[in-house]
Structure 1
Amino acid sequence: MTLTRGRAKTDQEIQLDVLAEIARDFRFKPAELGVEVDGGIVTLTGTVSGFRKIGEAAELATGVPGVRDVANELTVNPVATFRDDTAIARAVRNALEWDAVVPDDRIDSIVRHGVVTLTGTVDYGFQRKMAADAIANLNGVVFVNNHIRIVPPVRSDADIYGELTAALRRRFPSEDLDAIVDAGTVTLMGTVPSYRIRREAEGVAWATHGVQALTNNIVIA
C-alpha cells in the first residue's frame, strides 16, 4: 500500500497491510488469523497449528509500519497437535540433541499436557533461546516454559561493554545506541526508528559473551 508522505496510516490501512503480510508468508494460512486494529494497536486472534507460530505472527505484525503495539490472542489448536506426553518428551530430547549449538547434556525437560518446561544451564543467552526454538514447533507442543539459566564464563563488565558497543556500531552505524553493564547485566539505551531494529539490538546483546541478564530500554521514535 502506498502511503502519502507525512500522513499517518488509518487503522483500516494498517489492518490491510498486516493481512497482506500474513497472506504472503508461507508459514500461515490466511484463515488461521484474524486482525483487528484500534488506534494503531493490532489484536491477533485465531487458532494456529503450532506454538512457534504465535510468536512468529506477532513479529510479523510488529514489522508493519504504523503498528504501535500488538495484543497476541492466538491459541494453538489442541486437536491438530495432539500427541501423548511420552512421545513429546522423546521428540524434545531428539531435537535438543540434534541442535549443534545447544548443550543438550545440560538441559532437562518436563512435559505435562503438551506444556514443556526446560531447566538447566547454558553459557550464553542465544543458547537459551535456541533451545526453546528447537522444540517450539514440534507436533504436540502447546507452550514452552523456558527456565534455563544463563551461567556464562566469568568476564569483566568492561570487556562485555567493549565487545557489545563495538558490535552495535558495526551492525547499526547510523543509530544512537549505548549500554550500561553492571555485574554482567546489560541495559540497552538509545533511540531507533523501528521495533525490528530494537529486537535485533537485543539479539546482538544476548550474543555477547558474558551477558547474564538484559533490560531493553531502547525507545522507538
Structure 2
Amino acid sequence: MSDHRDDLVLDGLVREELEWAPHVDATNITVHVRDGIVTLGGFVASYAEKKAAERAVWHVRGVLGLAQDIEVRLNPEARHSDEEIAHRIASILRWDARIPEGRIQVKVEAGVVTLIGAVDWRYQKEDVEARVQPLAGVVAIKNEIVVRPPRGASNINDAVRRALARHAEIDASRITVVTQGGEVTLAGEVRSLAARRIAENAAWSATGVENVIDRMRVVP
C-alpha cells in the first residue's frame, strides 16, 4: 500500500509527462492516482491521442498500474462514415508487405474497428493495429486477430528465457517462465510498466508462442 504523499507526487509526475507528450493535448484529460494505480479520464480528439497518453504514463517511474477511461470525442472534420473507414483500412493492409495478404478482415461500427483473422507472429498483429490507430474517424479498436505460429518450434521455455536475458531494461532473474504447449506464463517482478511490456513482447518474439499470460507485478 503506497503512502498518500507518494500518490500526490506520482499524480504530479503523470500530469507533467502528459503535458510534455508531443502527441497529446492534456487539456481535457483527468488524472487520479490511488496506491500507485493511475486512472486516466476525460476526453481527447482521436484514438491515436488516447493511445499516446497511455504510452506516456507507462514510462513514469512509480506507476504500478494503469486504468484507461479516456473517451474519444471526434471533431466534426474528423468524422467519416464506417464504410469509408473500412475501405481505407482495407487499402492500407493490402499495400503493407509485412501483413499476410487476405488473412485479415475488418468490421467498422460507429467508428469502432474490429480486426479479425490469423497471423504467424505477434508483431504482425501489432502492426495491423498500429496502422489503423492514426486513421481519422476511428474511436476504438478491438484486435481479435489470433497468433498461429508455424509448426516445428524448438524448446519454447529456453527461447523465452534467452529473449528476456537479452534486454537490459529488465532483470530476467526476477521473472519466472512457465510454458505449456504454445502458452507462456510470466510471473515475478519488474520495475515499471514499460519493463513489463518489454518482457511480454520479448516472450512473444520466441518461435512457437501462441499466447502470453502476464502475471508480473510492478515493484519499483
Q: Given the two structures, how large is their TM-score scaled by the length of structure 1? A: 0.87
Indicate conservation of the 8 Å contact 2:176/2:186, yes or no. yes
d(CA) in 2 for partners of 1:168, 1:99: 29
User: Which residue in the other structure is 2:159 paired with?
Assistant: 163
Give the unaligned 5+ runs of structure 1.
1-6
Indicate conservation of the 8 Å contact 1:99/1:134, yes or no. no
d(CA) in 2 for partners of 1:201, 1:218: 9
Q: Residues 8, 104 of structure 1: CA spacing in aligned structure 2 closer, same or farther, 3 A cutoff? A: farther
Give the unaligned 5+ runs of structure 2.
none
Encode CA deviations 1:5-53: one digit per residue, 9 max, x unaligned: xx98533322221111111111011313122223333221221122233
User: Which residue in the other structure is 1:148 paired with?
Assistant: 145
User: Which amino acid in 2 is paired with 1:36?
Assistant: H
The alignment's C-alpha RMSD in Å is 2.1
Question: 2:57 is paired with a residue of what secondary structure?
Answer: helix
Match of 2:93 among 93, 96, 113: 96
User: Which residue in the other structure is 2:124 paired with?
Assistant: 127
User: Which residue in the other structure is 2:209 paired with?
Assistant: 211
Question: 2:10 is paired with a residue of what secondary structure?
Answer: helix
Q: Residues 186, 161 of structure 1: CA spacing in aligned structure 2 closer, same or farther, 3 A cutoff? A: same
Relative contact order (alpha carbons < 8 A, sep ≥ 6): 1 or 2 greater? Answer: 2
Task: Tell me which moved more, 96-105 or 163-172.
Answer: 96-105
- Residues 109-128 of structure 1 mapped to structure 2, 5 A cutoff: 109-128=106-125
User: Which amino acid in 2 is paired with 1:28?
Assistant: V
| Total equivalences in the alignment | 214
User: Which residue in the other structure is 1:28 paired with?
Assistant: 24
Match of 1:197 among 188, 195, 198: 195
Query: Structure 1: which 4+ aligned runs deviate by more than 6 Å?
Result: none
